Every structure is written in C-alpha cells, then in structure tokens.
Amino acid sequence: MCIHPPWTPGADEVASPLYDGNFGAHVGFPLQDVSRVGELPYVRYFQSGTPHLFPDGCDSYLSIHRTERHCWRYSVTHIRKRISVPKQWSARPSYSSLLHPHDSLYTTKMYLRPETIVSDFSSVIKFIQAHPLGLLTTCIPLAGQSTLQASHLPFHYLPPSTLPVAASSASASVQSVEGTWSGEEGLGNLQCHLARTNPQAKALLHAGEGEEVLIVFSSPINNAGYISPSWYTTTKPATGKTVPTWNYAEVQVYGTIHQTTPQTLSQIVRTLSDTHEHRIKDITGKHVWKTEDAPEKYIELLERAIVGMEIRVSKVGMKVKMSKEKVEGDRTGVVEGLRGLGGVAEGEVADAVESAGRMK
C-alpha cells in the first residue's frame, strides 16, 4: 500500500468526496465490521445501491493502492479515497500514522483448522524460547532490491507480564479467537539485530518506524514430519481414502518494527549470547562464554556494523498439526511408522503425536 499526501486529481479524475473503488464488495470481510481507518471515523454512504464508506468532511487526500497483496481470499483492486484529517492533526509529519495496512484494512490471520489450534498462550512462549531462530519477513519497496525479503535471525522474546486470556472473558483487551491472539497491547516484544549490509536492514531503515512485519518460528523436527498414507491402519484398509500429509508445528508473529538505541542494541547482543551460552553449560557443564571475554573495542566495532530492532507484537498464531483429527488406529499407525524409520527427528515427531492426543 502506497500513501501519497496530498492527492491532486489527474486529468481523468475529479475532486469529489466519493472514490472510484467498490470497497465493500472486494474486501474479504463484512462492510459493517470496518469501523475505522486509522483513527478516522467513517459513515456509510450508498450510491446506486452499492455500499461505500466515506469520512465526514474532506480536508486532505490520500491515494491508496493495492498491487499483489491479498485480504483473506479476496483481492482488492485500486481504491482512491478522500480522507478527512482533523485540524488538530495538521502538525503530524506523516499520513502513514493515520492509515496503516495492519490497522484495519487488513485482517489477515494464520490459517488454522480446528485440530491444529493451540489456545494456551504459555505454549507460544515456550515454543519461541525453545526455537528462537525465526524468519523475519518484510514487504518494503526500495529501488534496486526485492520488495519481499526474509532473514533467519535469533530473537529474544519479552512476553507480556500477564498472559492473554481466552475470548470467553468479555473484559479482555487481548483475546484468543480461533487460535490467534490480537490486541493493541499485551503480547510482548521481540528483539533482534541485523547486519547493516543486509538489504532487508537497508529497507527497514529506509522505511522508518512502524512497518508491519511477520516472523515465523518453526520446530526443527518439521522436516521429519512426512506422514505416509500406508500408516493409516484403520482408514486405508476400510475405504482407501487416504493421502500423504505433513505434521509440523509453528508460531506466526505479526507486529510493528522499530530501530533500537545503541544502548538497547548492546543489551540485545549480550542477552542473546548469555541465553544460549547457558543452554550449552546446562548440557556440558563447561565454561560459559561472555561478551566481556572479547576485547571491548572489538565488540564496539562489531556493534557499529549491526542494527538493533524491536518488534511490538500485535498478533500471534500457533499451529500444531500432529494427526489429532485421525482415529485412534490411524494415530497408532502413524506413531509406529515414524518410529520405524529409526531417525531421531522422526522419533520426536512420533512423541509429539502421542503427546498431542486425539482431538476431542
């Protein structure tokens, strides 16, 4: 989405309080669910029987474009809209703070089937802490490089002090709905650092503050999760209606990314190394390496070559696909089939299938 303030009508355009796109018909959520864009109040307007959304008044303009992005299963075509900016906001330096893709136009969430849903947020925390190498994905246009970029980075997760509650609590500001958690506050922060020479870091620094990003955390045993239909000892003999599938576990985290101060960057570097060095000590009992073991000037030189980032988490989804929907005989066959391969990772997938249990 590109935002260009102010908008001057082109030769084939007319300055009108209306816009040239059918907003409600193309976006994959009910029109009545769209209550605001940024912080701007909207009212309904009907023209020729088609519902549209328009702001009260038109003092300034924004040009909104969609290219290859999607909202749920529906694509959104070009939309041009006039948006009102209250006079008290006239001193704001950028319109991007008024309208941002993650704020309300996009309600994308992790794809989850009922048997894969995890509704306990403590499981999310444990998963990220156990598998901290995440894939940071961004979509930032910058001349000379790809818009879509991804980097594997170690992350340090600062979970919320109070765990998010289930959607059954009406007073909750952060809720779990169909296996995803979302909220303005209360989902914690992720910290990481990138090499300044990384093209993705260049794009992030060029874009400035508040870009929406996606981080995916995966279990290392996922590559051993192939499930052969021949292992379904109940369904295959009975009906033959079996096909291959894959068992895996992952966490998807959305949030807005911000550059840290040099002081916070130093803290991130030390926290990441301390965390994983202590893991080694717990296993081997050997000396723990500390940042202070290296020359101070050397560490300072390296820190100048990296950039610290913090993601304010706004949405989380966790998926554990471990044959929970299968009948008991098929699940037993899957466990035996995996263990029969003799691999360590396959054995861990078998353990996960047993631990997950059957869907109730």
pTM greater than the 0.75 cutoff: no
Q: What percent of the chain has pLDDT over 70?
A: 64
pLDDT at 56 over 70: no
What's the distance, Cα to Cα, between the start and end of the chain in Å? 42
Q: How confident is the model at residue 8 (pLDDT cuts 50, 70, 90)?
A: very low
Residue for token pair 């300044």: 196
Mean pLDDT of 338-348: 97
Residue 99 has pLDDT above 50, yes or no: no
Which amino acid makes up residue 222?
N
Inform me whether the pLDDT recorded for 120 exceeds 80: yes
Amino acid 332: pLDDT = 96
Q: What's residue 65's pLDDT?
A: 30
% of residues, the chain, pLDDT over 90? 56
Q: What is the pLDDT of residue 180?
A: 83
Least confident of 115-129, 132-146, 175-189, 291-305: 175-189
- Whole-angstrom distance, CA of residue 55 vs CA of residue 345: 55
**Residue 44 exposure: Cα atoms within 13 Å on the Cβ side:** 10
pLDDT given at position 41: 33
Q: Is the pLDDT of residue 95 over 90?
A: no
Whether residue 10 has pLDDT greater than 60: no
What are the structure tokens assigned to 328, written together?
């008991």
**CATH code for the structural domain at 114-356:** 2.30.110.10
pLDDT at 334: 97
C-beta separation of 175 from 165 below 8 A: yes
Give residue limits of the domains in the chain.
23-97, 114-356
Per-residue confidence (pLDDT) for residue 11, from 0 to 100: 45
Distance CA 33, CA 14 (A): 29
- Higher pLDDT pick, 157 / 54: 157
Average pLDDT taken over every residue of the chain: 74
Confidence of residue 259 (pLDDT cuts 50, 70, 90): very high
DSSP string, 40-77: EEEEEEEETTEEEEEESS-SEEEEE--SS-EETTEE--
